Amino acid sequence: MYILFEGVDTSGKSTQIKLFEKNFDDIITIKEPGGTKLGEKLRYIILNSSDNISFTAEFFLFLADRAQNFEENIKKRKDKILISDRGMISGISYALANHPTLDEDFLILVNKFALSGNLPDKVVLFKTNEELIQKRLTQKNSDNIELRGIKYLLRVQDLMIDVLNKLPIKVLVIDASKSIEKIHNEIKDFIYDTSA
């Protein structure tokens, strides 16, 4: 089962992924961008490069990472519970936030192409708010994406919800302001519920 943990930066995805990694032997975790050797190089370029990367170049770097991640990590483990820190929902939503004139159907198509036609089985969306983002951003060093501002991140979150509403994927929306334990239990029930 291929599961995406989606949400904007500081929404709590990474905290929950670490908990699942630590407490469940049957779960394998990966991340995007950066889940492969090639992906690590692409992640560094995207998040830390001082060069002015064009939007189109950045978009294709994300797609290249996704395609490599699918080949190395997802395709061979379909019989496992695989949790990915980000995936195609982020890819599409950030692209639309950067270029609102882009065609959403085209973005879905090229992301499906990068995933060899596969969609995630489930998505956990961490929904946050302005106050929570502000608080958490002050506790860390911001990368190039976070430096685009809180309004930008909230716009991306809205787009994630829009994209998920258009795809046949089972979704759990999490209130990121809840306690870590409550969030963990909600996600655990969603992952292990075969009817969900």
For 102-114, write each residue's pLDDT tens digit. Answer: 999 999 999 999 9
For 180-191, write each residue's pLDDT tens digit. Answer: 999 999 999 999
Q: What is the CATH number of the domain that holds 170?
A: 3.40.50.300
What is the mean predicted confidence (pLDDT) over 93-121? 93
| Opening angle at CA 128, ends 74 and 171, nearest 5 | 40
- Please provide residue 6's backbone torsions phi and psi, each rounded to the nearest 5 degrees: -120, 155
What pLDDT shows up at residue 159?
A: 97
DSSP string, 119-165: --SEEEEEE--HHHHHHHHTTS---TTGGG-HHHHHHHHHHHHHHHH
Token digits for 117? 């036609």
CA-to-CA distance for 88 and 29, rounded, in angstroms? 16
What pLDDT shows up at residue 136?
A: 66
Model confidence at 140: pLDDT above 90: no
Domain count, the chain: 1
By residue range, what is the domain housing residue 91? 2-192
What is the mean predicted confidence (pLDDT) over 137-143? 60
Eight-class DSSP state of 35:
S
